[in-house]
Amino acid sequence: DIQMTQSPSSLSASVGDRVTITCQASQDISNYLNWYQQKPGKAPKLLIYDASNLETGVPSRFSGSGSGTDFTFTISSLQPEDIATYYCQQYDNLPLFGQGTKLEIK
């Protein structure tokens, strides 16, 4: 079975900072990776699909990159409304989520 390792598990950054989260797969999953945002008490929201495609309506400060086993999610300039937990999700076989990264404002 494919294992997903997401890091860091938590992150504190200042408004305006560039924030990076990584997700590593235990085997090659091509570009079969999505990124979701979950704000406290809310349902998750799709931000990035197929590793690097921005979902409609999602601000351009969010981006994704990578292929194979190593993937990166970036917020180019952190905004207060970006406080949330972020999850990667692979779909090489059945969907599998990473452990999540809780993002806080410093």
Partner 1 sequence: QVQLVESGGGVVQPGRSLRLSCAASGFTFSSYGMHWVRQAPGKGLEWVAVISYDGSNKYYADSVKGRFTISRDNSKNTLYLQMNSLRAEDTAVYYCAKDRADGTTLNDWGQGTLVTVSS
Closest distance to partner 1 from the beta carbon of 102 (Å): 10
Encoded tokens for 17: 């900072």
Closest distance to partner 1 from the beta carbon of 82 (Å): 18
Residues 28-87 that bind partner 1 (CB under 8 A): 32, 34, 36, 38, 42-46, 49-50, 55, 85, 87
Closer to partner 1 by CB, 44 or 72: give it: 44
Give the span between the Cα atoms of 102 and 104, in whole angstroms: 7
C-beta separation of 48 from 35 below 8 A: yes
Candidates 91, 100, 102, 104; CA nearest to 5 is: 100
Closer to partner 1 by CB, 72 or 97: give it: 97
Closer to partner 1 by CB, 19 or 32: give it: 32
Query: By CB under 8 A, is residue 20 in contact with partner 1?
Result: no
Candidates 102, 99, 106, 103; CA nearest to 6 is: 99
Give the span between the Cα atoms of 1 and 84, in whole angstroms: 28
Q: Can you give the binding site for partner 1, defined by CB under 8 A?
A: 32, 34, 36, 38, 42-46, 49-50, 55, 85, 87, 89, 91, 94-100
